[in-house]
Structure 1
Amino acid sequence: MAAASISSIEGSQLEDAGVSSVLQLPSLAPGMSAMAANPRLTSVSIRGLGSNAFNDGIESSVGIFIDDVYVARQSYAIFDFVDIDRVEVLRGPQGVVFGKNTTAGAVHILTRAPSFSPDGGIEASYGRFGDRQLRGHAGGALVEDRLAGRIAGYVSRREGLVDNLHDGRKLNDRHRQGARAQLLWTPDPDWSGRLIAETAEVDEVCCYFAFAAPIRPAVTARDEYMEYRRASSNPSDYVADIDADIYTRLGQNALTARLDHRWSPEVTISSISAWRDWHFAPMNDDATSLRLVTGGLRNEHDQLSQEVRIQRRGVRSGATAGLLLLRQHLAGREDALLGEDLAAWVFGGLLREQLPFATRSNSGLLLDALIPPQTLAGMTVRTPYRQRADSASAYGSIAWKWTDRIETQAGLRYTHERKTASVSRSRQGGNPQASPLSALDALTPLGELLGVDFRGLTFQGLLDQVAGGEFQRSDRYEEGDISGGLSASYRLAEGWMAYVSAQRGVKGGGVNLGVTGETVKPTFRPERATSFEAGVRGRLPHRGLSLAAAVYDTRVRDYQALTFDEDTTFIPNPRMNNLLNIGRVRLQGVEAEAGMDLSASWFLRLAAAYNRAITEDFTNAPDEDTRSNTRDLSGRQLYNAPRWTLAANLMYRRPLSGSLEFRGGIDHYLRSATFGTVEHGRASYIDGYGITGARAAIGDAAQGWEFALWIRNLLDVEYVTATQPIYGVGDYGAVAGDPRVWGVTAQWQF
């Protein structure tokens, strides 16, 4: 709906602020948060509502759209911004045009379209830690008044920030690149077509996370038994001690074809066809130089979408109607390769909990005799899954201008979804027969003769407890639901309006794409959000003042949250495969944005948000001490939902001589503390922090060049941006924010 809280950020604003990805948008959009433990685990929330990406069966509450195309995985948007026209951040449920899975809001990224006027530019940056980036674009007419083209691309590199004490390698580097090519076809004034082809890739030595304190006593006992000392529990020390060759490889390809036809002076018909392909291949470590577990979760995802939209814009009224068809295929496979130290670490930890003096030096021979290292070494636990999802939506909205001051809008959307999925798990390799305990496996055939299940007493049953046993299931989910909105606006004065709105958004339910036990349901229910909002916005151009403010109250039923299964294994799966529907969540808050010309040279921009995001009914949260879902978090703050966010930007411009100009600025972003996981694990707590940046540039607009000096995290603040599970509930890794980085940028526009 048009009468809603929205931040529209121009491409030039993104460039001036040094914002190069979705993860940095919160510094320009109040009430928004973003995190990424690694490129696949990108999570965006608005007004405290979002979700993490550990389980591929769940989609985000914040819809991501690129050039009007819905993308099902937020990690599609992890790649760097290049040649962007603007980014729109729409807050609150978007139940009509942006209706697909947008219970919290939407982020719409719009790239610059080709034009028939020639233009181009190149930008090069170099900074601390070998931070270097190269960006460029060029475009213009290919056939006069008929065909135009545009190309853009980027290369981004930075050395690793983390020193690996085990072998001297640098970890967590940056190695990304991408390109986009476009064609604009205008055969006559009533027809236009736009073809967009994109490709991008990531190939990084990533991602290591420091094991965050406080560490659970069970993990401490395991480490002490092995006489092992972790490198650091402070992520801002930027040190690691791991033995695996970790990596992250991510790629995407996309093709979008848009055709617009002006049926009449008031009516336009649009067709948007799109294909996107995304693949992810990681190698992760167990955060130690012990040989415990290595592996990763590989993904391949592709989607096809077709949308047809008709819009009518009249003097007094307007209307939109459309149909969207979306098909997604998702395939994933989690591989866990067990190491030779795993048995001693697990069972030695249990021994030390009972005998505080026990170590591998004084009892390792006995333990190795019972479970030799080669028993588990090389054993692989493989968990593949697949899903096909089909979605069809029909929507319509109408706007009516009753008087010169009063306008109303109303819209509805019906969405039908069907999902089919399969999940399995198998265990192979290793040498279980090396253990004398394997003799207990003879109880299995004996139990079959006696009609008694003895597997829990066998060695294979013990391995099931350590690594997981055989598993297989197939599921189907189908539903239909209605979303929509109603709003009214009143023109207070020239350039100023007030509005009220009621909106309902629905995020579809689905299939749990993880191994489910007795406490985890194979499917989960839809998430429904109903929001009431009132706001005012406007501008006084002659005084250089703009203002937008909103208050809201959003109630969410069956909020889809990811956490852990009540797993009985000694090594709980770090994937949060328990899809909880939290009964009730409530979001209440105030947002405001203001811009003001302080003088002919000084400009100030402020954005602030207060958000009270509360889980009103949450009695089955996991308890990290009892390892069961019995903790009551009703009335507590929702995770990844900072109460306060603030962004301030002060800019200065001064003409020098001719067309030469100096520009400078300082910005500050502040957010309050929050928990990084839904269960409020002690080590997942993220302290509040504030980050300051500065920039100074001199350039000649007529000649098209600019040279800039910049610095990010000016005060070298140590802070954590996200937490993620390492071994299971209560055991978390922390993602450190970047330290102080400075550099130079030169650009030339032609």
Structure 2
Amino acid sequence: MGSRTLLLAGASLLALPAHAQLSPSDPNSASAPSAAGASPATTAAPTPTGSDGAQGEILVTARRRQEVLQKVPLAISVTDAKAIDATGSFNVLKLTQLQPSLQFYSTNPRNTTVNIRGLGVPFGLTNDGIEPGVGIYIDQVYFARIGSATLDFLDVDRVEVLRGPQGTLYGKNTTAGAINITSKAPTFAPEGAVEVSVGNLGFKQGKASVSGPLVADKLAIRLGISETHRDGTIYNVTTRQHVNSQDNLGVRGALLFKATDTLSLTLSGDYNRQNPDCCVQIYVRTGATQRPLSRQFAALAAAFNYAPPSTNAFDRLTDLDATINAKQTIYGASLRGELELGGGTLTSVSAWRVWDWKPSNDRDFTGLPITTVSQNPSHQTQYTQELRYAGSSGKIDYVGGLFGFYQKIDTTGSQVQGTAASRWLLNPGAVAVGSSGCIPATANACNPAVLNGLTSLNDIHFKNTSLAAFGQLTWHVTDRLRLQPGVRVNYDKKSGSYVATVFTGTGSTTLNADQRGVLAPQSYDPSFRKWNISGDFTASYDIARDVLGYATYARSFKSGGINLSGLPLDANNNPILSSATVKPEKVSHYEVGLKTQFFDRRATLNFSGFWTDIKDFQATVTNGQLGVIRGYLANAAKVRTRGLEVDFSARPVDPLSLYFSGAFTDAKYVKFVDAPCPPELAGGSALTATNTPSPAGTPGGVSPNSCDISGQWLPGVSRWAFSHGAEYRIPSHLFGRTSEFYLGYDGSYRSKFSSNPSRSAYTDIQGYYLGNVRAGVRINDRWDAFGWVRNIFDKNYYEVLALQSGSTGLVVGQPADPRTYGVTFKAKL
């Protein structure tokens, strides 16, 4: 407790605006904060307008009401449209280079992890039966599918990242934070914009938008479109095609109807499609497991006279022989009504959304016909309704709301084994290494027909209903002191079914022991329902004119869930039904903060400190058994994340803008005594009363039934991360117009992190530093042309590392983008 008290007493919380706008009285209001005058990850104060430093206030609506930026005790950072364009941060992955506390990992759109401070979605393969701890909101609509985070930003005004529990402010309970994306609204003044980018690797990106009135002062429309294409970064020597490409299309339209002076209605719809040749993970290395040596990767590959096309992943070569595809379609519509009523605003947001996922994968990660089909096409429909009222009365500001959510997911998947499966997956006894022969010759492993064509058809269904009432108020005790309590009452109900029907290559459903050990029939109907109450309390105090201090405590819950990716099997290859559900997470969260401005508000310096304890943490754990191609869910007894954050931005002189953001995050399993073991301790014979576990990496050794990973890092989060950058502008005149030349640099660093739920010596990803530069010219704030280089130092690094199932020791990875370069042209019409 002493170290926690010291941390909380000496640290402070970073809080930056979710939606910044300049007061109409501000002479600078014609020039919104942007990458030209602020940190890309934050919105800085405008240039002072007088010798006394007087200036228009920056206003925010982070808490559903308009407030002065530096008075909001909430951890938020924002990237506006200009910064997104200038830095090439056109999706959440790119945004992580600007925001150190945000983590994003994706092996394909469905299997995407978005975390804040190390918390959110369990790291690993996605399981439909649980909810993310980081909520994705677009125009106040909650997106249940985390795959939406892989979409290109479409006609976006700003992207806000809120850190920490947000259940008393937002419709869906989010225990780790929220990504709040706001599109540009229809305008009654005609406007339009066009942006075109081209670069190496066949990169082509076009964006366009137009807005204007249909009926003067009553009805306005806005239309936007974005399209991105890029060749793949990995060459498949089998198909002679580049894979891991980009092929994205997005269209959005919105109608704004000013029904009366107090009532406005916004009807919007969007369609997004991704259809790339994606996504492959390629050979990185092998590591010793406890499987018999003859059944580890080197010996198995030799038995087929097989070798990967390269043992250096950054040659970017693969030989995968299965069909690759990662097509997702996301579309929907929403109606938002806002009515000025009494002392506040009543807001209603109704939405319908559809997510359609049609994948195809090569889950053996080799050019051998081991698993020839691996796919789980899914279709989701969701409906949401939020009703919210925000207002003020005397010394009290308040917001309260009701939220309803319904989701239905239907999945019909399949896994098919190929001609190499028997030899690769089954134990043949002694093996003549380097040949295709088996001893004894009668072993099932020596008979390709045993597993060839073995098929599991998976029929999976899920229904999720969530209802909530939430509210938060701010009591202005004095002109300096404010107290802010919040509460949330939540009800969750989940039900599902999982049926895996397995038959042999001849169509028989009668399986022998070896076949059941690879693909076992399963059938179960998990369900979960529970009420919970959560809340938070914040106290803030104006220490001086431009110095705000505050402290927050939050008690939050993340709904329990059900396993819908197949269960682990017992010794008789039957599903372990006790693992069909997982408990809710119980979150205790502490934050303190200090926000300051100085040098006549030309500089902002904020610090943050946080400590979060989670009981029954929902972890996606690796399943070493062959019959379950995805990880399954388990509760870790206790997890803790704590850290410090700092943010600085300044404009020391008018032509120069600087920024720095840094985060130290200490995230670990405090207690997880029955976790699955890492690969170096897996694959051996079973532990019994008469033997003991073998040392890590002992071929043919004895593997523990589970491992105590208490004290180990949480996966996916670096202890150290920072971003920094600068832009320098030189005023000029071109073609008789006010212009400026500019040069910008953005750098980011992340230290080593674990890429496996149970940390392994084979799957740590080493730290890396990335640098991006841009140089160009702006003319009259209407034309912009610049060249850019991203990953200028051509740093080789991995986005994720993963393991081949079955404890063969094969480690595969997804190399990140190499150096890319190009030019961008933008025009306002």
TM-score (norm 1): 0.92
Residue 4 of structure 1 deviates from its aligned partner by 2.3
Residue 182 of structure 1 deviates from its aligned partner by 0.3
Given that 2:171 and 2:402 are in contact with CA atoms closer than 8 Å, whether structure 1 keeps it comes out as no
Partner of 2:573: none
**Take 1:464 and 1:423, find their aligned partners in 2: how far apart are those partners?**
17
Tell me if 1:413 matches 2:488: yes
Residue 615 of structure 1 deviates from its aligned partner by 0.8
Residue 232 of structure 1 deviates from its aligned partner by 3.1
Partner of 1:573: 628
Partner of 2:467: 392
Match of 1:188 among 260, 263, 274: 260
Tell me if 1:167 matches 2:239: yes
Partner of 2:313: 235
Structure 2 CA distance for partners of 1:370 and 1:289, relative to 1, 3 Å: closer
Instruction: String of CA shifts for 1:303-332, please: whole Å, max 9, x gaps.
Output: 101111111124521111110010000112
Moved more, 608-617 or 55-64: 55-64
**Take 2:78 and 2:719, find their aligned partners in 1: how far apart are those partners?**
23
Q: How do 1:23-38 and structure 2 match up within 5 A?
A: 23-38=93-108
Q: How do 1:381-530 and structure 2 match up within 5 A?
A: 381-431=456-506, 460-466=512-518, 468-516=519-567, 517-518=569-570, 521-530=579-588
Which amino acid in 2 is paired with 1:252? I
Listed as ranges, the gaps of 5+ residues in structure 2 are 1-62, 64-71, 571-575, 684-703
SS in 1 for 2:639: strand
**Take 1:67 and 1:234, find their aligned partners in 2: how far apart are those partners?**
44
Given that 2:438 and 2:446 are in contact with CA atoms closer than 8 Å, whether structure 1 keeps it comes out as no
Partner of 1:140: 212
Structure richer in helix, relative to its length: 1
Structure 2 CA distance for partners of 1:725 and 1:257, relative to 1, 3 Å: farther
Q: How do 1:362-373 and structure 2 match up within 5 A?
A: 362-363=437-438, 366=441, 372-373=447-448
Instruction: String of CA shifts for 1:367-409, please: whole Å, max 9, x gaps.
Output: 6998643443333211221011111001111111111111111
Structure 2 CA distance for partners of 1:22 and 1:698, relative to 1, 3 Å: same
Partner of 1:283: 360
Partner of 1:454: none
Structure 2 CA distance for partners of 1:747 and 1:140, relative to 1, 3 Å: same
Residue 565 of structure 1 deviates from its aligned partner by 4.0
Partner of 2:19: none
Residue 646 of structure 1 deviates from its aligned partner by 0.4
Given that 2:422 and 2:452 are in contact with CA atoms closer than 8 Å, whether structure 1 keeps it comes out as no
Moved more, 629-638 or 370-379: 370-379
Q: How do 1:254-265 and structure 2 match up within 5 A?
A: 254-264=332-342
Structure richer in strand, relative to its length: 1
SS in 2 for 1:243: coil
**Take 1:97 and 1:678, find their aligned partners in 2: how far apart are those partners?**
31
Structure 2 CA distance for partners of 1:250 and 1:676, relative to 1, 3 Å: same
Q: How do 1:540-579 and structure 2 match up within 5 A?
A: 540=598, 542-565=600-623, 567=625, 571-577=626-632, 579=633
**Take 2:468 and 2:811, find their aligned partners in 1: how far apart are those partners?**
39
Which amino acid in 1 is paired with 2:309? A
Match of 1:533 among 576, 586, 591: 591
Structure 2 CA distance for partners of 1:201 and 1:488, relative to 1, 3 Å: same
Moved more, 322-331 or 627-636: 627-636
Which amino acid in 2 is paired with 1:563? V
Which amino acid in 2 is paired with 1:409? Q
Given that 1:303 and 1:329 are in contact with CA atoms closer than 8 Å, whether structure 2 keeps it comes out as yes
Match of 1:274 among 323, 329, 351: 351
SS in 2 for 1:465: helix
Structure 2 CA distance for partners of 1:525 and 1:660, relative to 1, 3 Å: same
Match of 2:719 among 631, 643, 653: 643
Moved more, 144-153 or 18-27: 18-27
Which amino acid in 2 is paired with 1:282? P
Tell me if 1:617 matches 2:696: no
Given that 1:574 and 1:726 are in contact with CA atoms closer than 8 Å, whether structure 2 keeps it comes out as no
SS in 2 for 1:679: coil
Partner of 2:784: 706
Listed as ranges, the gaps of 5+ residues in structure 1 are 442-458
Which amino acid in 2 is paired with 1:552? F
**Take 1:731 and 1:315, find their aligned partners in 2: how far apart are those partners?**
65
Which structure has more relative contact order (CA 8 Å, sep 6+)? It is 2
**Take 1:17 and 1:274, find their aligned partners in 2: how far apart are those partners?**
32
Q: How do 1:75-224 and structure 2 match up within 5 A?
A: 75-98=147-170, 100-216=172-288, 218-224=296-302
Residue 486 of structure 1 deviates from its aligned partner by 0.3
Q: How many residues align structurally?
A: 716
**Take 1:416 and 1:231, find their aligned partners in 2: how far apart are those partners?**
52
Partner of 2:35: none
Residue 149 of structure 1 deviates from its aligned partner by 0.6
**Take 1:56 and 1:742, find their aligned partners in 2: how far apart are those partners?**
37
SS in 2 for 1:345: helix
TM-score (norm 2): 0.83
Given that 2:202 and 2:230 are in contact with CA atoms closer than 8 Å, whether structure 1 keeps it comes out as yes
Instruction: String of CA shifts for 1:692-741, please: whole Å, max 9, x gaps.
Output: 00001112125x21111000000000001122343256654311110000
Structure 2 CA distance for partners of 1:713 and 1:426, relative to 1, 3 Å: same
Moved more, 549-558 or 621-630: 621-630
Which amino acid in 1 is paired with 2:137? F
Residue 297 of structure 1 deviates from its aligned partner by 1.7
Structure 2 CA distance for partners of 1:543 and 1:479, relative to 1, 3 Å: closer
Tell me if 1:663 matches 2:742: yes
SS in 2 for 1:354: coil
Report the RMSD for the aligned CA atoms in angstroms.
2.1
Residue 490 of structure 1 deviates from its aligned partner by 0.7
Match of 2:682 among 626, 638, 663: 626
Moved more, 596-605 or 155-164: 596-605
Instruction: String of CA shifts for 1:193-222, please: whole Å, max 9, x gaps.
Output: 111101000111111101332344523322
Residue 98 of structure 1 deviates from its aligned partner by 2.6
Residue 661 of structure 1 deviates from its aligned partner by 1.1
Match of 1:345 among 419, 424, 427: 424
**Take 1:593 and 1:695, find their aligned partners in 2: how far apart are those partners?**
22
SS in 1 for 2:256: strand
Which amino acid in 1 is paired with 2:710? S
SS in 2 for 1:542: coil
**Take 1:98 and 1:30, find their aligned partners in 2: how far apart are those partners?**
23
Structure 2 CA distance for partners of 1:629 and 1:653, relative to 1, 3 Å: farther
Given that 1:85 and 1:111 are in contact with CA atoms closer than 8 Å, whether structure 2 keeps it comes out as yes
Q: Percent identity?
A: 29
Moved more, 95-104 or 190-199: 95-104
